[in-house]
Amino acid sequence: MKQKITVLGSTGSIGTNTLDVVARHPEQYEIFALSASTQVDLMLRQCVQFKPRFAVMASAPHAQQLAEGIKQNGLVTQVLQAQDALEVIASHPDVDAVMAAIVGAAGLAPCLAAAKAGKRLMLANKEALVVGGALFMDTVKRHGATLLPIDSEHSAIFQCLPEDSSTWADRVDSLLLTASGGPFRQRDPATLSQITPEQACAHPNFSMGRKISVDSATMMNKALEVIEARWLFDIAPEKIKVVIHPQQIVHSMVQFKDSSVLAQLGTPDMRVPIACGLAWPERIASGTPVLDFARLAALTFEVADAQRFPGLHLSWQALRAPEGTTTVLNAANEVAVAAFLDRRLSFDRIHAVNLQTLESVQPGPVSTLEDLMALDARARERAGVIAQQWVC
């Protein structure tokens, strides 16, 4: 039987890489549903190629445009656009696995729907876990869903950890997340206010969406990944460490109690963790060239400079603070990054918006999705006001 896959965010960087891997294995996988926000033409091409049963667009005008294209091409794909359409395709009884590749907190509701339906959930959308925290993990456990990390660092750790998670607490000393340091690892900090969105999005090793690219440049991506690791691997925040490794060949490491360290290596290409998540515990070809150790240059490691990357430490601070603080941090960062990408906020103010929002929003209850979304909305509103004072 072929596995039926829903891809949430199919027009993005992770979405298109997922479809690339799926297309290499037509005997094993078929696309059940796709979702996108604005890219109608690309979505139509994906529908022509993969013939999904459903395609979801985020807005009515985009859905209408897609429906016309679907009709012209004689396809039977049903186009949906409704508030709960993402939940519908994430939890449909015919779906075997869901790739969560929407960017931001917007991906939380469909992730929870997939988890409640007990699906195999491949999680790239780290913000969903940063926002959802305990509720997300409880939902996965209560409904017997299978959660597979797609974020490259977490996929690496997942592959290095013993299969039996009940042994982790006794055996594991710490998790070592590697970080590229982004495009400004060596840039004079005095010039950070001049950075353009184009410069910030020029990641040294990966071609990714604009939001995660800016996060990599501030190292807020690593802050989100520390929080993501805390929940995925149920580990105390102080046992999660970050080391800069500019080549991104070592994707992350696990240090055990006897000081032995296991690492996962590979060419930096997201099709590797995607193929790993799709097939786990089997292995399938990803289309990625293997590492050529004869030609590999030096692998180097450095400490992250706290002055250059002040956002990194917000992860540990937020994890020590009352539950819900990570939801506030994520919302502030989404607002600040959007303002920077719109050229309304300078690059070096992203951290200031995050910090001031954390200082001024007290998290309330976070035991339901509605609680989390209300807190997210409150934090966004506050972050918007804070960002406004520095509008450029």
Evaluate whether 77 touches 52 at the Cβ level (below 8 Å). yes
Using CB distances below 5 to 8 A depending on partner kind, what does residue 102 bind out of Mn ion, ligand NDP, ligand DXP, none? ligand NDP
CA distance 210 to 342: 11
Which residue is closest to ligand NDP by CB?
12
Q: Around Cβ 25, how many Cβ atoms within 10 Å?
A: 16
Q: Taking CB under 6 A as the rule, does residue 270 contact ligand DXP?
A: yes
Using CB distances below 5 to 8 A depending on partner kind, what does residue 380 bind out of ligand NDP, Mn ion, ligand DXP, none? none
Using CB distances below 5 to 8 A depending on partner kind, what does residue 182 bind out of Mn ion, ligand DXP, ligand NDP, none? ligand DXP
Evaluate whether 55 touches 43 at the Cβ level (below 8 Å). yes
Using CB distances below 5 to 8 A depending on partner kind, what does residue 125 bind out of ligand DXP, Mn ion, ligand NDP, none? ligand NDP
Burial of 39 (0-12, 13-18, 19+ CB in 10 A): middle
Binding mask 203-242 for ligand DXP (x = CB under 6 A): ---x---------x----xx--------------------
Binding piece for Mn ion, criterion CB under 5 A, among 146-154, 158-166, 255-263, 379-387: 146-154
CA distance 123 to 144: 16
CA distance 105 to 209: 15
Size of the site for Mn ion (CB under 5 A): 3
Site residues for ligand DXP, window 166-185 (CB under 6 A)?
A: 179-180, 182
Evaluate whether 61 touches 40 at the Cβ level (below 8 Å). no
Binding mask 222-261 for ligand NDP (x = CB under 6 A): ----------------------------------------
- Residue 32 CB partners (closer than 8 Å, separation 6+): 4, 5, 6, 52, 53, 54, 89, 92, 94, 95
- Chain residues binding ligand DXP by CB under 6 A are 151-153, 179-180, 182, 206, 216, 221-222, 270
Interacting residues with ligand NDP (CB under 6 A): 9-15, 36-39, 58, 101-103, 106, 124-127, 151-152, 206, 208-209, 211-212, 270
